[in-house]
Structure formats: C-alpha cells, structure tokens
A and B are shown apart, each in its own frame.
Chain A
Amino acid sequence: MARESVVIRLAGESGEGVISSGDILTQAAARGGYWTQTFRTYPAEIRGGPCMYQVRMGKDRIYSHGKEVDLLVCFNQEAWDLHWDSLAADGVILYDETAVAIPAEFQDRARPVRMEKLAKEIGGSSRAKNMVAVGAVCGVIAFDTTPIEELVMRRYAHKAGVADANIAALQAGKDESADLNGSKEITPPVETEEDRVLMSGNQAIALGAVAAGLDYFGGYPITPASDILEWLSAKLPATGGITVQCEDEIASLASVIGASYAGAKAATATSGPGLSLMSELIGYAGMAEIPCVIIDAQRGGPSTGLPTKTEQSDLQHALYGGHGEAPRVVIAPVSVEDCFWATVDAFNYAERFQVPVILLTDQGLGTRMEVISKPDLSKVEQWQRKTAVDVEGQAKRYELTDDGISPMGLPGQPNGQYVATGIEHDEYGHPDYTPEMHTTMQHKRWRKLDPLANGAARHEYYGNTQPDIAVIGFGSTYGPVREAVDMALADGLSVGAFYPRVLGPFPVETVREFTAKASRVIVPEINFTGQLARLVRGEVGITVDSQAKCDGLPFTAEDIHEMITEAVR
C-alpha cells in the first residue's frame, strides 16, 4: 500500500555528494508536487566529517522532519554505524557496494548500489554519484524522475553531453534498487493550482526583509546566519538597498542604528556569540528609541558551543540581555512560512514602536528547506515610523505622549534636529538624570509595548484552545508539537498547543486563558535550564512541567507525543 509520506535519509562523508543528492531530491519532490521538509546535520569542519541530509516528502503538508527512517542511503560505513538505529522496523537500506558492510540480519532489506562504478562508466565522472543515488531512491519510492530530468536539462542547458550522461546515471541508479523498487511507494501528490515555494527559514527571512522595505543590512559572517547576509548581498542592490559586511557584530548593529537614525529600514543577522557582542547596542537602541531588527539564528551554546547544531538557549538573553532595562520586542516565528511573516512584523513593530526587535530563529529552522504556501504579497503591510515632518520650532524628539511614541526627526527634515543619546534625557534629548526624569522616561519607553502585550500581536494555537493537557512552546518546535497534538487528539485526549509569537512583551493574559482548564502544562524546549518554562512560571504564576533537552537536535513529533501520553498517566 502506498504511503502518504516517506522519510529518506542520506548519510556519508561531507563532500561525497550527500548534500547535493539531498538538494536534488528535495527540489525534485517540490517540482513533482509534494510537500517536503528537510533536516540536515553538518560537520563543523569545512571538508570531511560525517553529514546527513533527511528529506521527508508527502502528499499533505509536512510539519516536521520525521523520526523513523523509511529509506536509509549509506555512502560509507560510518553512515551505517551512525544511522542504522534510526531505521523504521520495515525501513530499507541502499548502500555503496564498495564501502559498506551490512550485518546479516538486515541483508534481506538492503541492496548494494554501484555508486562509483556507474557514476564513472555511465555518468562520465565520479561526481555523478549523486545522480546514481537519487535514481536508486526514486526506484524505491516509485517516484517519476521527470522533474529531476528537467532540473538536469536546465542546469546543463549548454552542455547536452553532460545532461545526457547525468540522466543516464539517474536511470541506471533506478535499476540498482532492483526488487526493492516500489517497496516504499509514495502516494501521488494532490493536484492543486495553489502556488507554493521551496525555501529555507533564512531565505524566508531575507525575503520578508525585502518585502518589509529593507534599505540597509549590516552583518558579520557567523554560522548559521551567514546566508542571510549572502543572499541579501546578491539581491538587495536590485531594490536600491545595500548590505555591508562589517568588521564585527558590534559594527554591524552600530551601522544599522546609524542607518536607521538617518531614516533607513535597517537590520542585521547573527547567532548567539554575535548577540552577546550586540547587547550594549541593543540597550542603546532601546534608550535612544531607534528602530532596528536583529535576527538571531540560535545555535548550541554557551560560548562557541555547537556552531552547527540547533538550540533555543538565547531566549532569556534576547528578552533581558544587556545592562539596565531597555525595552525591546522579541518575536519567534514557528515555521519557514512564518519566518517570512514574522520578519515583516519585526520591521513593522520596530518602526511603529521605535524599538529594537529581536527575531529568534534557530539553526534547525533557519537551514531546513520546506515547501510552503507562497506568501500572498498583497497582504504585506509596511508600517512607517512617526517622524517630525511638520514640526514648528524645536522638536521634542522624546515628547511624552499617551502611547509613548514620539516624533522622530530625520536628518534632512527642517526643525527636527536633536541628539540621539543613551544618556537619560528630557523630552528634547538633553541630558537629565534626575529621579523624576528617569522614572518618567522609563514609563514612556516601556508603555510603547503595551499594545503588543494586550492583543495586538498574533499568536499561534493548535488543537483545543482550553485543553486539559496544554503544551506551550516557542519557535521551531511548533512543527513536531502540532503533529503530536494531532496524534494525541486521535487518542481522544483534550490537548492543545499555544505558541506565543511575541515573547517580549509576554502575553500573560492570553496564556492564563489558554491554561485555565489545564491539569498539566508541558513546556518542551531545546535548552538546558528550561528558559521558557521559567518565563511562564514567572510571568503567569502557574506550575509547568519543563521538558527541556540540549542535545542540539530538533524534537520529533513522537518525542512530544510521548510527553503528552506520560502526562496523562
């Protein structure tokens, strides 16, 4: 019987064609009309070291990368040694005939593939190993190779010989899986007119920034955020904007603040170590009320930590990092699609409330590829900041207003002159650190965020909205939690998930309402100390069951389902 979705894992040495095979398969699945989601692990080294690329594809929307592997492709012995225990009970194996020894008890569901030999003899070069491997995979899942052939033709449009050789290698690979062919047949895709796009979380963020009106981006290379800077460096000049690769993360955010002071919509992207360096400037932007967007693609910490692994351990830093108490907005997208929309929100919040906005993603969400519904660009709103256009006389840059938002003079605007400063100041921006002024100005700066705490922010619910078993998470864990909620609902449980997309200011009343009937509140997160659990306890004053783990890997739906099942017992 055909399967609605399959999990394919390719593993081997970095540089052997594992990644390119995964990319080809992902893109082919998307072209073929399937929903897909990928999951990769990277060695920290540039070349060499074990890597794996998992592709889950199916006829329905895919929310997580999957747990049990239906088809494992081993490029070398280490791949088998590291991944055999992830196989489903009926999972099948394809392996490089020259490099891998499969134990006897698995041999009835394992088939050798002559990767090197066929690549050289038919594909024209050992570089065609990826085509042989992808061909073999297509055989097992009974996937029509036409979309892959189209990709090859397109890639080698001017080299007909190379294209033909690659397609021949693909077909040869398909024959290699022999009697396993069709054993993991996938249900045909659902025909649809809907526009879909295939992208990573980082790409969705870069596109969201362009859609929001980004003018200036200053960044410093860091895993796993660098490709946001790279993508924008290639594309932003076409819209009239610019990117600068700065000398460090401090200069990146400093230049962003300078650009925003001059009226530009400005952003930077980094990971944990960079966020640490930016902390002082985040406080400055909060104090001087200069809009800016800081994207933090979290990775394993502390210190250099696990640069190529995922973690959600910058939450408390994003919320509170820095000396003093400077207002900022912290927003966490829950999916690749939401990376686009949350980035648009981030710019809009920054401009309207004149605050730094930290967008928290993570390595898993930022680097995974996903087929998503194409964002409807007509729904993108661009909010503009309140400026000092028609001001008479000297501008009160930090004017005390009901909502705390003051007119911001932009260089070039007559009568708007003021000095932006991190020193406590009066309405004109003149230094003043009397007790009354500091109290007044702290209130002014913080009350700008009141609307976001009180209903203006959009949050994410799934399942029951006032469940018995309540799950609260943030960011990238949404996908597996959503699938786990479906499993638990099918078990007949009263269960639901709440994902605050804006975590700072924290939606206290919304969480209180969501948990009003809950007997258990489970908080899964990828860090050691249970930062979100602590936040919920502290802000809402309820008891929660912290389910924190710090192995650098995303949760699977099965992990979460088990937590829910345990909670009922």
Chain B
Amino acid sequence: MTTAPAQRKPSDYKSDLKPIWCPGCGDFGVLASLYRAFAELDLDPTNTVVVSGIGCSSRLPGFVTTYGVHTLHGRPLPVAMGVKLANPELTVIAVGGDGDGFAIGAGHFPHAARRNIDVTYLVMDNEIYGLTKGQASPTSLTDQKAPTTPWGNLETPLNTLAFAIASNASFVARGASFNTKALTELIVQAIEHKGFSYIDALSPCVMFNNKQEAWKELVTDVEPDHNPADRTGAFDLALRGGFQLGILYRELRPTLDDKYAALIERTPDSDIVAMMDSFSARKGTAIGKPVV
C-alpha cells in the first residue's frame, strides 16, 4: 500500500529570493495569502504559472517556486491568455498593481473578462504608484495630493469592481492584505472558479499612501444575504462603494479555453499536404476567402 504524498505546505511555495518590498507593505499579506491558498489547493509548482506586469507588486513571481513571467508594464493579462491557451492544463494566475492593471493595462482588462479566459487576476490595489514614488493612480481618490497632483487629484477614481462586472468577468471579489484568512479563501475560490476571476486586494503602500488603519475601520463583509449570482445586485453593491470584502459576483459560463478545445474537436482534421493541394494551379479554387 502506498501512502499519499504529504500535502504541500505554504513554505513549499516560498522561493529563495527575498521580497524587495518595504517593511509593512500590504503586498506581504497578499503573498502570504497566496502561499496559503496554493498549499490549500496543493498546486503543483511545475504546472502553475504566475504572470505579472511592472510595479512593486509585479515582482511577486520571483518570490514563488512556480513558473513565472515578469512581463511588461500593463501586459500580464494578454500574456496570461497566451500561456493558458497554449496549455490549458496549467493553473494561471496574473498579478499586479492598480496602475499596471487599470492605467496602462486597462485596455486588456475588459477583453480578458468578456472572453472568460480561465485565469485568476489578483490586483494589489494601493491607490497609488509605489515604485515610481507616490504619483496618483487610476484608483486614487479625488482631491488626493501626490507629486503629480500637488493641488489635489482632479480626476474621479475608477471603480474596478463595477468595471469588472460590466465587462462580464465571471468572478468578482474584494479582499484585503490585512485580512489574510479571508483573502486566502477568496484566492482559493478564485483559482477553483472556471473562468476569469478578478480579486481586488486592498494592499496599503506604507511609504506613499498608508491607509491601512483607515481601511481597517472602513471594511465590512459583504452581507450574507447577497446573492452572488445576481448580476444587477452585484453591480449595485459595487457602485455603492465602500469596502465590502467578499464575493460580489459569480457565474459559471463556458471558458474561452474550453470553447477552443471544442472547436478543435469538431473541426475535421487536416494537414499541410491537403492545404497545399487546395492551391493546386491545375485543380485548385483557392482564390478568394478561405472556406471553412
């Protein structure tokens, strides 16, 4: 009789690289939650890929023992899509900050969501640019002062949860770095969810926007009677603002990777020999649009 291999521990996912983050950074709490979620799911590091963009939080792939791609500023989602479509067996997690995801990378977000590619997107939202030293981000509050908004931010912050629901994300949740138990559970559920899952994780920047204490006062749990299958209700909840932690929206619909697999399955097999023959000068009819 063989014994089942021991379940992996959170520390098994910890790499030898020490995080470069400032002491007290919220991203430590998010990373700890990620280790625990991986362990709870007993993910095989060999079959897991963590993809990131550029920014403090985007250094995260270096701190886990899985495969990783540290991409360009704003580009983790299309890279993650390519990874997942090329090998749907992999568990793919994209991570990054609010500037990476919702300023330079915002053009990719609604498309990843509506495609329902089976990727978990974990955003460490500190409402500021940390790596470049404190400039306003798309989630910074109106009137907030920062080096680029010395007279106060003139803009309205982006409501990323409402954006996600409006874009047809099939799993939308909010967590916080200072509530690692709940965040761990959200990450577990997001990874288990078949489809595009978005978690906005509040993650205070201790250097440039330290709102940890204020946020701790503001957060509440999503009310127990909220039905995550109710898209209109979820949208209402997102628009209400505030800091409600938990799952706002969840639906199950076919993922893009499943649809491609089905497409390949139902397409009659062909090969380069047959394709080349269709262009035969003597017999072919290959002028014009290809016929499926």
Contact = CB atoms under 8 A, between A and B. Distances in A.
A155 B51 CA distance: 50
A254 B71 CA distance: 9
Interface stretch (B31-39, B186-194, B228-236, B268-276): B268-276
Nearest to A23: B287
Nearest to A27: B287
A238 B79 CA distance: 24
A246 interface: yes
Interface residues of B, number: 60
A239 B270 CA distance: 6
B281 A210 contact: no
A235 B269 CA distance: 10
Given A258-B78, A258-B86, A375-B276, A197 B49 contact: no
Contact of B291 (A234, A258, A259, A431): A234
A463 interface: no
A216 B108 contact: no
Interface stretch (A408-416, A438-446, A477-485): A408-416
Contact of A422 (B70, B81, B84): B70
Given A240-B264, A258-B81, A374 B280 contact: yes
Contact of B49 (A238, A247, A411, A415): A411
B69 A281 contact: no
Given A31-B282, A238-B270, A412-B90, A258 B69 contact: yes
Given A250-B78, A377-B273, A417-B67, A262 B72 contact: no
B175 interface: no
A207 B271 CA distance: 10
Interface string B233-268: 000000000000000000000000000100110011
B70 A154 contact: no
A42 interface: no
B208 to A, nearest CB: 22
B72 A422 contact: yes
Interface in A222-240: 230-231, 234-235, 237-240
A198 B276 contact: no
Contact of B86 (A207, A238, A264, A369): A264
Nearest to A413: B46
Contacts of A211: 272
A377 B277 CA distance: 11
B111 A247 contact: yes
Given A262-B49, A377-B272, A411 B83 contact: yes
Given A254-B72, A288-B69, A411-B48, 6 more contacts: A198-B286, A257-B79, A261-B86, A262-B49, A411-B90, A417-B65
Interface of B: 17, 45-49, 51, 61-62, 65-72, 75, 77-87, 89-90, 107-108, 111, 260, 263-264, 267-273, 275-276, 279-292
Interface of A: 23, 26-27, 30-31, 33, 151, 154-155, 195-199, 203, 207, 210-211, 215-216, 218, 230-231, 234-235, 237-240, 242, 244, 246-248, 250-252, 254-264, 266, 280-281, 284, 288, 369, 371, 374-375, 377, 380, 409, 411-423, 430-431
13 contacts: A199-B286, A207-B276, A210-B272, A210-B275, A234-B290, A246-B78, A255-B82, A255-B85, A256-B82, A266-B86, A369-B287, A416-B46, A431-B62
